[in-house]
Structure 1
Amino acid sequence: MTNFVAGLSIGFSLILAIGAQNAFVLKQGLKKQYVFIICLICALSDSILIFLGVTGFAKIIQHYPIIVVIAKYLGAVFLFAYGGKHFYSAIQHNDSLQPSATEHHNIYQMIAMSLAFTWLNPHVYLDTLFLIGAVSVQYQDDSYLFALGAMMASWIFFFSLGFGARLLLPLFRQPRAWQILDLLIGLVMWGIALSLLVKT
């Protein structure tokens, strides 16, 4: 169980940082739009990447770094576009708890966006494939328990964030709160996008 707890602790320490994926899950949790499927995709994607990291896929990435480079630029474009959408929402004063005609997305769009926030985010590869993969070497005898702990951290976090967001709904009945949230999400998205482009 020591290895499981170690994986759980490292998983939480990496995922708790404010990022594009977390902001997306929070916003959809507040909107109550496809929360379960979004949390499921995010947690399952993390689990796949953690499994690959622990089983040595990071070595393949080291031999073919173009994979991360492609994800970096595609991710930056995606984040700039999504951040711009939130700046526009803040300017438009969209203060409804229900999705507006311009904000409504069908389930296929939500699935695509959930996948994009994970698989086009180089930070996710760094956390799961490289960092968790590297640390797991210390637990070779029971690396599966370490990986299981790290995976569990993702499942607990995303579902807690997605479904726990509704506890903030009284606050978001105020129009100003939505404007502030949209501005913050926009800043987070553009900040991460810029960080991707300036890093070599």
Structure 2
Amino acid sequence: MKTFITNIHGPVARADPEAERLQLEIENYVKELCLDLQGLCYIICDQDAEVLRRISAGLGQPVGIWGNSVPEVDETGQPYLEPEDSDISKDFKLWAEGENQEYALEHGAYAGMAYFTMVIPAFTSMDILATMYSSCTGCNCYDYVVCMKLVNRFVSVLDWIYVPMADRDLSLVVSSRSNRHFMYRIHRILRPDVDLAE
């Protein structure tokens, strides 16, 4: 993994000027997109399907893609038909199964240039998902600025969020400070060579 920066223990150490420069660049970039990283735990890493696979396997959590994406197949193995209102909250758990999980792990790792997606645990509460989908409606519902505001709003009720960043080859894995134990676990999964005291 080429890029790995975290703020779990506070700002990046001043001893690494390149990491500090990249951290500030990413913080400014996401701030322009209306995501305030202050008070959140995050890891900046490469956009890579292997990174997402390792997080999912290491946490024992299948993942789903929230945003401009739907599962490939329904519970019977037939092509999934998206509801007219685009609210797939009741079907989000389908991401955890076979073909859908493989799609989520492979394609969820990368940003689409014209729309927003993020990866969250596939078994996220249906109530939380319904609120998230109802918060994102209209013609600009998967616009990056609109959706980054949702990350701010929902990060406290989700275990963790993986956001592949458009215009970058980087991803942001983020959690609230109250869920930072997930970030410690993700750090150990991605960088087992670095000892990290909680």
For Structure 1 versus Structure 2, the TM-score category normalised by the shorter chain is under 0.3
Higher relative strand content = 2
TM-score, normalising length: structure 2: 0.26
Larger RCO (alpha carbons 8 Å, 6+ apart): 1
TM-score, normalising length: structure 1: 0.26
Greater C-alpha Rg: 1
